[in-house]
Amino acid sequence: MNARVKDFWRYFKRRKLAIIGLVLVILFFFIAIIAPKIAPYDPGQINVEEKLIAPCSRHLLGTDNLGRDLFSRMLYGSRISLSVGFIAVGISIIIGILVGSISGYFGGWIDIILMRFVDIMMCFPSFFLVLTVIALLGPNIVNVMIVIGVTSWMGTARFVRAEFLSLKERDFLYAARAMGASDTRIIFRHLLPNAMAPVLVTATLGVATAILTEAGLSFLGIGVQPPTPSWGNILTEGRIYIFDAWWLTLFPGFAILITVLAFNLLGEGLRDALDPRLRGR
């Protein structure tokens, strides 16, 4: 095992909450992957004769207003919510890395233009920007992932730019230039690998934010559309019966809470382990 990896793991495993977060994230991933095998019912199977049944041995988490098994819908919903989170963050990370790398490496008027654009983007309340774009493009899972991704890259761009500004005057960069390395090779081979620590932390925390955003959009009816189950639209369907069928809001709300908390704990642990200034805390 690489010495840097060993060093990172030695500090990371001291963070007990981060380990809990990691275990929960792995557990949610595993559940999402095997959801079709462990779901007792088809998540779209309607049985009006069994609507709004409280949790019991036949339906572990109860049923909704159409008699669909909530446990099965929650399992399939985990796949949608996690997919939205990771794909949206993937898009934002790619855009942020490209903008931050170009801005930090070339500097000058390129840096000024790109950073002013970042400032403009950060002036807009992101959730309302997402709402506006979704209203124009139409609500579906693909649009939700793309819109969340293209409206949340600014923080990554700033982190990468800051790291590049710190790194580009180091001796190893002068050596690479002296050996005739191209700008592209310097950026992606020498600078970017050394600037990935804050990006990794931002990505982990960004997944939690994306899941929350998707849940919020679905709750408002402009996110993932029924009958495709996501935790957000399950929560939306349950709000009408909040006093008669408490399980329809409690279980998806709890799932969102635990997932977001797990990613936040993991992100905090990564930040502490990757930043030498925080390791002694």
Residue-by-residue DSSP string for 223-272: SSPTTS--HHHHHHHHGGGTTT-THHHHHHHHHHHHHHHHHHHHHHHHHH
Distance CA 88, CA 148 (A): 6
User: For 8-22, 56-70, 126-140, which range has the lowest pLDDT when averaged over its residues?
Assistant: 126-140
Banded model confidence at residue 231, pLDDT cuts 50, 70, 90: confident
Report the pLDDT averaged over residues 8-23: 84
Q: Kindly list the distances between the CA atom of residue 65 and the CA atoms of 39, 75, 101, 209, in Å, as whole numbers in the listed order.
A: 19, 18, 51, 29
Domains for the chain: give ranges and CATH numbers. Answer: 3-46+65-278 (1.10.3720.10)
pLDDT at 279 over 60: no
- What percent of the chain has pLDDT above 90? 24
Residue 108, pLDDT above cutoff 80: yes
In percent, the amount of the chain with pLDDT more than 70 equals 96
pLDDT band, residue 201 (cuts 50/70/90): confident
Note the pLDDT of residue 3: 65
Confidence at residue 225, expressed as pLDDT on a 0 to 100 scale: 80
Mean pLDDT of the chain: 85
In this prediction, residue 133 carries a pLDDT of 79
What six digits make up the tokens of 156? 């990554």
Nearest to 146 by CA among 220, 223, 70: 223
Q: Dump pLDDT digits (tens) for 176-191.
A: 788 887 878 888 887 8
What confidence score (pLDDT) does residue 281 get?
53
**Coil, helix or strand at residue 63:** strand
Whether the Cβ atoms of residue 247 and residue 55 lie closer than 8 Å to each other: yes
Rounded Cα gap, residues 281 and 278, in angstroms: 6
CA dihedral 265, 267, 268, 274 (to 10 degrees): 140
CA 218, 220, 223, 229 dihedral sign is positive
